[in-house]
Structure 1
Amino acid sequence: MESKDQEVISLCQEFIRQQSYSGHENHMAQVLAQYMKTNGFDSVYTDKYGNVIGSIKGNRPGPKLLFDGHMDTVPVADTSEWTYPPFAAEIHDGNIYGRGTSDMKGALSAMAVGAKRFAQITGKDFAGEIFIAGVVHEECFEGVAAREISTYVQPDYVVIGEASQLNLKIGQRGRAEIIVETFGTSCHSANPEKGLNAVYQMAHVIEAIQTLIPPHHDILGNGILELTDIISSPYPGASVVPDYCRVTYDRRLLVGETKESVLQPLQELLQNMMKQDVSLKVQVSYSQGSEQCYTGNEIKAERFFPGWLYDTQEAFIQAAYQELRRDGFTPQITQYNFCTNGSHYAGEAHIKTLGLGPSRENLAHTVNEYISIEQLTKAVSCYTALMKALLK
């Protein structure tokens, strides 16, 4: 196996061996920062959330190109279910096995090696600056920690490294978490007529919400509105009529939808219901999330992550596509089926963004997660092609 391939394989393995659940990315961050410091990066910066951002400057002025790869992974529920240990990064049949191989430490290792290699090949005689960002808390908050990165870098282009089988991704549906709450009156369940059951109230609300039809987009598909959990209080309700009920909806967002436009049909529906039934007390809002970072700082946000989509003929998309083809790759131009940090870069900040990463989307979060070494090593070349295409 060629030594240039071994470098990215070894770095990926070292990343996998650092367990880095959301909020505990510190060891992974140290390995990434050390690689950057010992491999010619001009600066290495860690921000308040723990994002690690390394840069390599070209000899000529030009655009800033940011490669985004998150360091955190979802947890391993039961290690005994895995054929190979999830944090050993063992190689079998041409694949590296472990939590985070596909989602997305393989991509991040290819980005770091690709930046180093591009600087070596060009002798830094290129226009602009390359940034590699190891991002925290993506699994909890798509695009929230990324806000801090784009403020620091102010990129002209962003490459998201989520798995795409080395195809170009030019969009995705967004995601919102919507909370609906009903408020009743508690009493002893032996005398239910003396109270107002919040769950019965919620049952009518759920039925009414099912009549709402989310919008449709010809490319991204349907905007989903799906109930994902329901809880009453007090719980357990031993001989008590519940005075509170909360339902969570997963709302998949299309391009152009805003916080206001998404809630409006729900608000109008519930207002009409309360006019018709004066005993009904119901409200709708976005879920608020709060998590602790390994730096000790808190990261928090409303759970609303916009969708985004570019035209296939956009100049930067075509530049990337044509350069990849010149280097022998045959990418398709499609969209992600899940939410990414692109929700911030493209959806919120309107920075030109595309996605390209090694491995298959459906391996993320799975038992026996793996990445093929062929995809991993090809990703390095794909990323250097994107550097050639966009740093002009």
Structure 2
Amino acid sequence: MGTDKIKDIFENIDQEEVVVLTEKLIEIESHKESVQRESAVAYYIQSFFRSHDIEAWTEEIYPNRPNIYAKVGKSDKSYKRIILNGHIDTVPAYTMENAFQPKRKENDLYGRGAVDMKGAIAAMMVAMVTLKRYYPNLAGEVIFAGVIDEEERAEGARHIADSGNLTADIAIIGEPTELKIMPAHKGMEWTEVAFHGKSSHGSTPNAGINAVYHASEFIRIMQENLLPELERREHPVLGKPTLNLGKIIGGSDPNVVPDKCFLQFDRRWLPGESTESMIEEFNNLVRIQKKTNPSIEVSVRRMSETTGYHPPLDTPFDHWGVKALEKGVRTLFGRDPEVVMFPGWSDGAQLANGGIPSVVCGPGRLEDAHSGKEKINMNELYQAAVLYTYFALDITGRGKNESGK
């Protein structure tokens, strides 16, 4: 791509347009506590695209919860197709004051969803409009996919993967990476271990069976057996799997022997592991515990009602899509691109599971997401729109068999 064309991209994108659009998206609540869920923001995005003569449509995944899609370019199967993906849901306000009233302060824009991830959504929308306005002769196709439910069960992206209704050669996921390129991350799984005892008055503890005691014994067995085993496993990119005991529920009052106790774990897992193998690891701990206490009542289950299925993402670092993003960062911003693992989880894993190679690359810092002071750097928003536009122009002009390096 020539110097003049690169200069045109910078000139054809207005930073203020990206920021104003982000502000509008922040104002439209789209979290689990809002009556409209994701529908209001999805229909706003659809209206925005149609006002710019871009084909856009929705697909209801659950009642009042639609995915929103748009496309520009030509459906020529001899050229590459890309997906620009982001989730249109956010977490609720929680401790953030005036969370849905966006505020500019110095170089940052504050508001719930600013960084996770309505900022990236806005940058992708502006990239789509830029392509439609100034580059109408794209040989390939660019699809925008705004999906529901990433903050919970990731059913929006999973639907795309399972249905096969959208296909592409590469997907860019706009989770916050400070525009670093992140082709891989661990999977996420939540597991609950439930202990059942017998209640009695606290003054007669021997008349009951203390479920909390059984749970504490299980924790010790877990620390002595499973944690060392996880330390011995390592992926060349993703490192070691992790296990965190994040929540303990047990007991009703100090003067009552607790008859129930629940341990809830967060497990970050690697390619080669599976939900079945992780459940079996917990069951093995139960077997160890029952050797000394065979009468213990305990059950293990996946918390799939909360998390659904969250596999790992493992796109090779030398994939042509990664190399094309590296080229874009180097060409546009004059810096060496960083290619590292993503510390969180993304819908890219669902898309990759459905046969669409995916890479995480978006504006903002992950540590600002979900926080009481969620924010995004406004210049980085602009840079994201420029990078997505450059990447689309670069990739869609390539034939299906071109490596893209």
- Among candidates 104, 108, 112, match of residue 125 of structure 2: 112
| Contact 1:144 1:344 (C-alpha < 8 Å) held by counterparts | no
Partner of 1:68 in structure 2? 85
Q: Deviations along 1:307-343, whole A, 9 cap, x unmatched?
A: 2223221222213322443334532111211111123
Shift of 1:282: 1.8
For 2:240, give the aligned amino acid.
N
- Point out the structure with the larger strand share: 1
Q: Any gaps of 5 or more consecutive residues in structure 1?
A: 291-300
Partner of 1:134 in structure 2? 146
| Contact 1:42 1:57 (C-alpha < 8 Å) held by counterparts | no
Report whether the alignment pairs 1:102 with 2:115: yes
For 2:159, give the aligned amino acid.
E
Cα separation, partners in 2 of 1:48 and 1:307, compared to 1, 3 Å: closer
Shift of 1:59: 5.8
Shift of 1:51: 1.6
**How far, CA to CA, are the matches of 1:365 and 1:371 in structure 2?**
12
**How far, CA to CA, are the matches of 2:195 and 2:264 in structure 1?**
12
**How far, CA to CA, are the matches of 2:83 and 2:130 in structure 1?**
16
Shift of 1:368: 2.4
Cα separation, partners in 2 of 1:313 and 1:288, compared to 1, 3 Å: closer
Shift of 1:104: 0.8
Q: Deviations along 1:178-213, whole A, 9 cap, x unmatched?
A: 111112223333333233211111111111011212
Q: Secondary structure at the match of 1:316?
A: helix
**How far, CA to CA, are the matches of 1:307 and 1:78 in structure 2?**
30
Report whether the alignment pairs 1:206 with 2:219: yes
Written as runs of structure 1 = structure 2, the 5 A alignment for 1:153-302 is 153-211=166-224, 212-213=226-227, 214=230, 215-232=233-250, 235-237=251-253, 239-289=255-305, 302=308
Moved more, 51-60 or 382-391: 51-60
Partner of 1:144 in structure 2? 155
**How far, CA to CA, are the matches of 2:270 and 2:138 in structure 1?**
41
Q: Deviations along 1:256-294, whole A, 9 cap, x unmatched?
A: 22112222222122123223321212222211325xxxx
Partner of 1:7 in structure 2? 17
For 1:322, give the aligned amino acid.
K
For 2:93, give the aligned amino acid.
V
| Contact 2:218 2:285 (C-alpha < 8 Å) held by counterparts | no
Moved more, 145-154 or 241-250: 145-154
- Among candidates 363, 366, 374, match of residue 361 of structure 1: 366
**How far, CA to CA, are the matches of 2:386 and 2:169 in structure 1?**
21
| Contact 1:59 1:124 (C-alpha < 8 Å) held by counterparts | no
Report whether the alignment pairs 1:370 with 2:381: no
**How far, CA to CA, are the matches of 1:271 and 1:135 in structure 2?**
41
- Among candidates 43, 48, 51, match of residue 38 of structure 1: 51
Q: Secondary structure at the match of 2:272?
A: coil
For 2:84, give the aligned amino acid.
F
| Contact 2:183 2:360 (C-alpha < 8 Å) held by counterparts | yes
Shift of 1:350: 4.1
Report whether the alignment pairs 1:345 with 2:361: no
Q: Any gaps of 5 or more consecutive residues in structure 2?
A: 1-9, 399-405
Q: Deviations along 1:46-100, whole A, 9 cap, x unmatched?
A: 32232212222426333432211112222223455xxxx4322222213222111
For 2:291, give the aligned amino acid.
K
| Contact 1:51 1:149 (C-alpha < 8 Å) held by counterparts | no
- Among candidates 313, 334, 345, match of residue 340 of structure 2: 334
Partner of 2:31 in structure 1? 21
With normalisation by structure 2, the TM-score equals 0.85
Q: How many aligned residue pairs are there?
A: 372
For 1:14, give the aligned amino acid.
K
**How far, CA to CA, are the matches of 1:200 and 1:221 in structure 2?**
34
| Contact 1:44 1:55 (C-alpha < 8 Å) held by counterparts | no
Q: Secondary structure at the match of 2:305?
A: strand
Q: Secondary structure at the match of 2:325?
A: helix
Q: Deviations along 1:127-182, whole A, 9 cap, x unmatched?
A: 2x2221222221122x3321113323133321110111112111112211111111
| Contact 1:274 1:281 (C-alpha < 8 Å) held by counterparts | no
Shift of 1:216: 2.6
**How far, CA to CA, are the matches of 1:71 and 1:194 in structure 2?**
53
**How far, CA to CA, are the matches of 2:331 and 2:128 in structure 1?**
19
- Among candidates 310, 313, 323, match of residue 308 of structure 1: 313
Written as runs of structure 1 = structure 2, the 5 A alignment for 1:51-62 is 51-58=67-74, 60-61=76-77, 62=79
Aligned residues with identical type, % of pairs: 27
For 2:148, give the aligned amino acid.
V
